[in-house]
């Protein structure tokens, strides 16, 4: 049982996870993997401490900069760092599943940021909840299009940053201060789902994003393009 990210909704998420697996009690993960240290991704990390779950020696897989931030906030007591190989980026391999961290540019004001490639016997899932823009990301991984990158990874599914639908969602705020590629741009860059390639699943939606409404015209556009919007309790058999 491997948990990626620890949001403030952690108790509810552990119950959803258990229900999806047919378990009678909330999941107690064997490891926690963190992509970066922005609040929404680590806000629930304290739930593993003695005030709540009381975990000890729980494996944490994260970059040095993320681990350093948790250490400074006195949040590392329940954890031990994963025993990585000599490779430069964090990774974990257990139970026939491998997790490889891929650095991506994303407002690295507090820590660096990684995508995670999750590889099983049959499927490969790229988890990319946050990045600044496609130009920087593609340059950093060495490919000219998202589809070329996904194909090189052998990805069968991509869980993809869909924070904002377009650049007009945050009234009164400069959206360049919270950079994410918009869904409109991503749709223009990513191959139509009907033409093959990995299954694109849009996640990490801001509350302003019209994709939160399954009946919105924008949600219909995603469906017509052959892509999907992430929903609670979905499963991908690896």
At 70 the three-state DSSP class reads: helix
d(CA 133, CA 180): 6
Question: What is residue 236's predicted lDDT score, i.e. its pLDDT?
Answer: 93
Distances (CA, A) of 180 to 131, 164, 184, 219: 6, 7, 11, 19
Token reading at 175: 């959206």
pLDDT recorded at residue 26: 87
Give the pLDDT of residue 192.
Answer: 76
Can you give the pLDDT at residue 175?
56
| Residue 195: per-residue pLDDT | 73
| pTM score of the predicted model | 0.92
pLDDT the model gives residue 12: 92
What CATH class does 120-238 carry?
A: alpha beta
Residue 82's pLDDT is what? 79
pLDDT mean for each 10 residues of the chain (238 residues): 94 92 90 89 92 92 92 93 68 91 81 93 95 90 94 96 83 68 91 81 94 96 94 90
* Residue tagged 């609040």 (tokens): 39
Per residue in 117-132, pLDDT (tens digit) is 999 999 999 999 988 8
Full DSSP string of 90-135: -EEEETTEEEEEEE--S-TTSS--EEEEEE-SS-EEEEE---S-HH
Domain residue ranges in the chain = 1-86, 120-238
Q: Report the half-sphere exposure of 177 (CA within 13 A, side-chain side).
A: 4
β-pairing verdict for 97-103 and 157-161:
unpaired
pLDDT of residue 37: 87
Give CA angle at 23 (234, 57), nearest 5°: 95
pLDDT 10s digits, 182-200: 999 999 999 777 677 899 9
Query: pLDDT at position 145, please?
Result: 93
Burial of 213 (0-12, 13-18, 19+ CB in 10 A): exposed
Helix (H) / strand (E) containing 2: strand 2-4
The share of the chain scoring above pLDDT 90, in percent, equals 65
């Amino acid at each position: 049982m491997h948990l990626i990210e620890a949001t403030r909704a952690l108790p509810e998420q552990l119950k959803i996870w258990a229900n999806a697996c047919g378990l009678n009690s909330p999941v107690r993960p064997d490891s926690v993997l963190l992509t970066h240290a922005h609040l929404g991704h680590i806000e629930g990390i304290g739930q593993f401490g003695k005030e709540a779950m009381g975990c000890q020696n729980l494996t944490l897989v994260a970059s040095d900069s993320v681990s350093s931030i948790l250490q400074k906030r006195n949040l590392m007591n329940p954890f031990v760092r994963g025993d990585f190989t000599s490779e430069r980026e964090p990774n974990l391999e257990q139970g026939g599943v491998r997790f490889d961290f891929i650095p991506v540019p994303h407002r690295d004001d507090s820590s660096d940021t990684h995508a995670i490639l999750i590889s099983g016997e049959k499927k490969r899932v790229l988890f990319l909840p946050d990045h600044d823009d496609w130009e920087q990301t593609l340059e950093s991984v060495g490919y000219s299009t998202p589809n070329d990158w996904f194909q090189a990874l052998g990805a069968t599914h991509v869980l993809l940053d869909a924070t904002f639908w377009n650049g007009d969602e945050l009234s009164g705020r400069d959206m360049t201060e919270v950079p994410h590629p918009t869904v409109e741009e991503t749709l223009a860059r990513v191959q139509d789902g009907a033409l093959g390639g990995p299954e694109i699943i849009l996640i990490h939606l801001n509350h302003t994003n019209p994709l939160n409404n399954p009946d919105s015209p924008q949600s219909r556009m995603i469906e017509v393009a052959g892509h999907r919007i992430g929903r609670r309790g979905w499963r991908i058999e690896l």
